[in-house]
Amino acid sequence: MSKKGMARATVIVAVLGVLSKIMGFVREQLVAWFFGASGLTDAYVVALSIPTVLTGLISNPVSTGFLPVFASYVARDDREGAANLASSVTTLSVGAFVLAGLAAIPFAPALVRLYAPGFSGAVFDSAVGLTRLFFPAFALPLLGAMYKGILNTYKQFTIPGIAPFVQNFCIVSLMALLAPSLGLRGLAIATVAGYFAYNAIQVPWLRELRLGLRFLPEVGSGTRQVLKLALPLMVGGLATQLYTLVDKNLASKLAPGSIAALNFAARIRQLPIDLFVTAVITVVFPTLSEMWARKDKEAMGETLITGARFALFVCVPSAVGLTVLSKPVVRIAFERGAFTGSATLLTAGALSVYSIGIVGLALARIIDVGFYSSQNTWYPVILAFGVSCVNILFDFMLVGPMGHNGLALANVLASWMGALAGLVLYTKHIAGVDYRQLAQAGLKILVSSAVMGVTAWTLGTYSGVISGTGSIKKDMFLTFAAVGISVFVYLVGALILKCEEIVLITNLLRRRLGRSQDTPA
């Protein structure tokens, strides 16, 4: 795929992602509205985290290992082989997840004590009940990820891009309906229903592919290859879950609401990654897989750098902006209902730290995709173990003097170290990367972002919005004004410095507008 083609596909997926993440953010706002940064919200976050162990051990490894193998069948135009592979992997992995989830239900109390020893009373009971519900239900995200991988391989990005919007809309609607009367149980029901909706929206388009997907509990050569790729990722997933366990364990011993504050801050930090980096990965992953199948390593290096540059173009200014405007952003996003001013300060503190790691997380995800597409999954495992160990080490070093902000900083430091180590490994063992090109692009983006950051700080300080005006409407107006002006300054700076990323996107939009104007009514 050419740079222009990648830019076009990335813009399409990113626009769809914006719609989804807006709805996802509404979901988080409702959670904050009904439950605040409280012990009950902590219980919900922990209950979601515990079944994520199975996601790390089964869902993510299998769906990630599946795509490059499936793409190789599609590249050879072997439809029968592709259909058998998809049917077999889906049947075996989803079945294994459901059985493992059901078997884990009796151990829910022990697992909650392991993850959150600071929980007691109603908070503990709520976490146990929700964990039992989520264990088998988490097979649905795996099924949806398999559907998405199949459609993306056939260059169908629209429906998989819409699916998260449908999921979040379902969760928001049911939460608003059920939470006032059912409390956390209503939120849990809405969450599971959203997983069903994510799958349902993709099924009609899968049928149009006429692959003949079916129940097939067999292990063919392609399935063995997927399992071979997935096995090291399962080990890596275990490492990731280990530091997540330590984070939750330590945070549960801090002030009530610390887990929720870290979660809300992480959600905001994740926005630029989910809105744009995920779009880049969605386009880059199958493209790199096809290039690997053709043994075109030079193109792989160029494609990875292009993806990384597009990610930097969005993530660097996002990191600067969220660090400077963390308090008004959290205040506008969540401070209403049960979410108080003290919860805003707790969350904003974590966000200002988390934001520093946005670029590191983005680069790490893109580099991991580079390894996965080459069917090399051991390097990501090595990196995952290294990052996990560093994260845990910094957790224990920083949680005492810095509290929940120390846990956030530990994650930031580990993410950056993992990204830099991954880039070196990718360059040495997979495909050559032009560091000079990446550094030149990064320097231009950093200069533009620095000017933008000064603008945002000046506007935020002198307007009073950083400290708060006392009026949520006035805060909202001033924050949006500061963000809008700062983004304009950033884009002007990028144009002046001739950042290739904005040039490609600008040309694409001009062609789109030109075509629209040329189309007869």
Question: Which pLDDT band holds residue 505 (cuts at 50, 70, 90)?
Answer: low
pLDDT at position 93 over 70: yes
349 closest CA partner among 385, 402, 271, 411: 402
394-410 mean pLDDT: 93
Q: Where are the alpha helices (DSSP H) in 183-257?
A: 184-200, 203-209, 221-251
**Is 13's pLDDT higher than 70?**
no
Choice among 10-19, 26-35, 131-140, 404-413 with the minimum mean pLDDT: 10-19
What residue type is 213 in one-letter code? L
Contact 497, 441 (CB under 8 A): no
Structure tokens at 339: 């979410």
Q: What is the mean pLDDT of residues 488-516?
A: 69
pTM more than 0.75 = no
pLDDT exceeds 70 at position 486: yes
Q: Count the residues in the chain.
A: 521
Burial class (CB in 10 A: 0-12, 13-18, 19+), 326: buried
pLDDT in the model for residue 449? 93
Q: What is the pLDDT of residues 432-445, one digit of tens each?
A: 677 788 888 889 99
366 vs 343: CA distance, rounded Å: 33
What does the pLDDT read at residue 515? 45
Residues 6+ apart with CB under 8 A from 443: none
Judge whether 455 and 297 are in contact, CB under 8 Å: no
Predicted local distance difference test score (pLDDT) of residue 11: 62
CA distances from 52 to 47, 49, 59, 174, 245 (A): 9, 5, 9, 23, 11
Is pLDDT above 90 for 391? Answer: yes
Which of 37, 46, 50 is CA-nearest to residue 350? 37
Please determine, for residue 490, whether its predicted confidence score (pLDDT) is greater than 90. yes
Q: Which residues contact 506 (CB under 8 A, 6 or more apart)?
A: 495
* pLDDT for position 518: 47
User: Within a 10 A sphere around the Cβ of 350, how many other Cβ atoms?
Assistant: 28
Output DSSP code: residue 63. H
Q: Is the pLDDT of residue 2 over 80?
A: no
- For residues 271 and 25, the answer to whether their CB atoms sit within 8 Å is yes
**pLDDT-wise least confident of 91-100, 205-214, 371-380, 407-416:** 371-380
Average pLDDT estimate for 136-153: 86
Left (φ > 0), alpha (ψ -120 to 50) or beta: where does 224 sit? alpha
CA-CA distance, 426 to 300, in Å (whole number)? 11
Q: Among 376, 361, 378, which residue's Cα sits nearest to residue 235?
A: 378
Question: Comparing C-alpha atoms, which of 143, 81, 111, 146 is closest to residue 241?
Answer: 111
C-alpha dihedral (26, 28, 32, 38), degrees to nearest 10: 170
| Contacting residues for 73 by C-beta, under 8 A, at least 6 apart | 79, 81, 82, 85, 222
Look at 2-6, 137-141, 146-150, 415-419 and tell me which has the smallest mean pLDDT: 2-6
Tell me which of 507 and 502 has the higher pLDDT. 502
Q: What is the DSSP string of 296-316?
A: -HHHHHHHHHHHHHHHHHHHH
| DSSP 8-state class, residue 37 | S
Q: DSSP letters along 426-440, please?
A: HHHHT----HHHHHH
Instruction: Calculate mean pLDDT across residues 281-296.
Output: 72
Q: Alpha helices of 252-296 — where are they, by DSSP H?
A: 258-272, 278-293
Distances (CA, A) of 255 to 243, 335, 460: 20, 19, 29
Q: Is the pLDDT of residue 177 over 80?
A: yes
With both helix axes pointing from N to C terminus, report the angle between 184-200 and 158-182 in degrees, rounded to the nearest 10: 160
| Calpha distance 388→382 (Å, rounded) | 10
Mean pLDDT for the stretch of residues 5-22: 66
Is the pLDDT reported for residue 159 higher than 70? yes
Question: Of 74-78, 145-149, 219-223, 231-235, which gets the smallest average pLDDT?
Answer: 231-235
At residue 172, does pLDDT exceed 80?
yes
What was the pLDDT predicted at 512? 44
Cα separation, 501 vs 104, in Å, equals 47
Mutual angle of helices 500-518 and 3-35, in 10-degree steps: 90
Instruction: Show the tokens assigned to 85.
Output: 């592979």
Q: Residue 24: name the closest of 245, 319, 266, 256 by CA.
A: 266
Confidence of residue 64 (pLDDT cuts 50, 70, 90): confident
pLDDT category at 14 given cuts 50, 70, 90 is low
Q: ∠ CA(440), CA(445), CA(448), 5° rounding?
A: 130
pLDDT band at 521 (very low <50, low <70, confident <90, very high): very low
Distance, CA of 363 to CA of 39 (rounded, Å): 34
From the list 456, 443, 459, the residue with the least C-alpha distance to 487 is 456
How far is CA 303 from each of CA 212, 220, 281, rounded to the nearest angstrom?
32, 32, 11
Q: pLDDT digits over 341-384, tens only?
A: 888 999 999 999 999 999 999 888 888 887 877 767 678 888 88
Rounded to whole angstroms, the Cα distance separating 205 from 193 reads 20
Q: Which two tokens stand for residue 77?
A: 């135009």
Hey, what are 7's tokens? 């830019």
The average confidence (pLDDT) of the chain is: 84
pLDDT in tens, 422-468: 888 888 776 667 778 888 888 999 999 999 999 999 999 998 988 88
Determine what percent of the chain falls in helix, strand and coil, rounding each to the nearest 5: 85, 0, 15
The model's confidence at residue 495, banded by pLDDT at 50, 70 and 90, is confident
